[in-house]
Amino acid sequence: MDGQSIALLGLALCVVLCGAGSAIALWKTGSAAAGVLAEDGKKFSKVLVLSVLPATQGIYGFVLAILGSNSVVADMTVAAGWSVFFTVLPLTIVGFLSAIFQGLTSVAGILAISKNETISGKLILFPAMVETYAILALVISIMLL
């Protein structure tokens, strides 16, 4: 395997795993939101933000891959390829996991809204705390590029 292939593999894994984590989480939040809305359609605006929050990790993976693609050249050494691969690894791992855990936290918030919609603004804080780690991983990966 040459350096360019290794670098592209790292970038592709970042996009795929961050996107997969977001897709899994959005499946969970969308399912929970559908259940709440089936009982009371007026709660749409209350559950919407919690439903879409886990999508950000997929976006972060996509953005990092675009930024990282500037580092990929045809005649890369194997060492340079591994450098790009390991540079995007923080977001690859944290983006995947934090999306899933953010989705689960959002589901809990969505279910809480079904019982008490007056606390919806406060419930955004909990999945946002999980989001912090995805942002930190994105910043670290960008700094390493």
> What would the 3-class secondary structure string for 37-102 be?
HHHCHHHHHHHHHHHHHHHHHHHHHHHHHHHHHCCCCCCCCHHHHHHHHHHHHHHHHHHHHHHHHH
- Residue 79: is its pLDDT beyond 90? yes
Q: Residue 5 burial by CB count (10 A; 0-12/13-18/19+): exposed, middle or buried?
A: middle
In this structure, are residues 85 and 7 in contact, taking their beta carbons and an 8 Å threshold? Answer: yes
Q: How many domains does the chain have?
A: 1
Residues 107-117, mean pLDDT to the nearest whole number: 95
pLDDT of residue 49: 93
Q: Which domain holds residue 112?
A: 3-144
Is the four-CA dihedral 102, 48, 44, 26 of positive or negative sign? negative
In this predicted structure, the answer to whether residue 23 has a pLDDT above a threshold of 90 is yes
Identify the band that residue 143 occupies on the pLDDT scale cut at 50, 70 and 90: very high
What CATH code is carried by the domain that includes residue 10?
A: 1.20.120.610
